[in-house]
Structure 1
Amino acid sequence: MAKRISNDSVIGDILKEIIIQNKLQPGIDAISVSNAWASLMGNGVKNYTKEVVLKGSTLYVSLSSSVLREELAYGKEKIMKMLNEEMGREVVREVILR
C-alpha cells in the first residue's frame, strides 16, 4: 500500500517519491541524456545524429556520417564525462557509436 504523504511536505520531495515508487527514473534519464546530447554536441553533430538511445547505462548513438563517427570515437571518454556532468550524476558508463 502507498505511503501517505503529509500536507506539509515539499513538492520536490513528493515528486521524487512518485518517481521512485513508479520506477520512472530510467525513462526520465533516457530523455534527459538525449536532450543533453543535442545541446552539448551542437548543431554540426546534431544534424548527423539519427538516434540517441540509453539502455541501462550504455548510450547508443546512430550517426549518418562515418567520418564523424570515427572522429567522435576518439573522444568517447570526454563525451561520457560531459554527459554525466550535465546530468549531475553518473548515468552513462559506455558510449557506442553506430
Structure 2
Amino acid sequence: MAKRRNEYISLSDALKEFVNENKLETGMDKVDVRNAWQNLMGNGVNNYTTQVQLKQDTLYVSLSSSVLRQELSYGKEKIVKMLNDELGKEIVKSIVLR
C-alpha cells in the first residue's frame, strides 16, 4: 500500500502513480491498442475483425475475410506507424494477420 501524502496532487497524477505502482501498464496498453485499432480502421475493417490481441510487442489480428487479410498485409508497416502515432508511444513493433 502506498504511503499517504499530506500535499495535494491532481487526480490524473494519482491515477498514473496507481497504474505504475500496481504494474497495470501492460494491461492498459492492451486496451489502448484495441481501441486504437477500432478508431483507425473504421467500420469496413472492424466488421471483419474478430479479435485484436497484443502479446509483448506483436499485435495479432484475426480477420474473417481472406481478401481483406491479404490487402492489409501490404501495408503492415504503415499500420504499425499509425497505431503507434495514435497511442503516443511505440508499443506495437509488428503485426500478424490471421
Taking structure 1 as the reference length, what is the TM-score of the superposition? 0.93
Secondary structure of 2:29 counterpart: helix
Q: Unaligned regions of 5+ residues in structure 2, if any? A: none
Aligned residue in 1 for 2:53:
53
Consecutive unaligned residues of structure 1, counting only runs of 5 or more, are: none
TM-superposed CA distance for 1:5, in Å, is 3.2
| Off by >2 Å, runs of 4+ in structure 1 | 1-7
Provide the identity percentage.
60
Matching residue of 1:30: 30
Which residue does 2:17 correspond to in 1?
A: 17
- How far the C-alpha of 1:43 sits from its partner, in A, is 0.7
Q: Deviations over 1:60-83 (max 9, x none)?
A: 000001111011001000000110
Provide the alpha-carbon RMSD of the alignment.
1.2
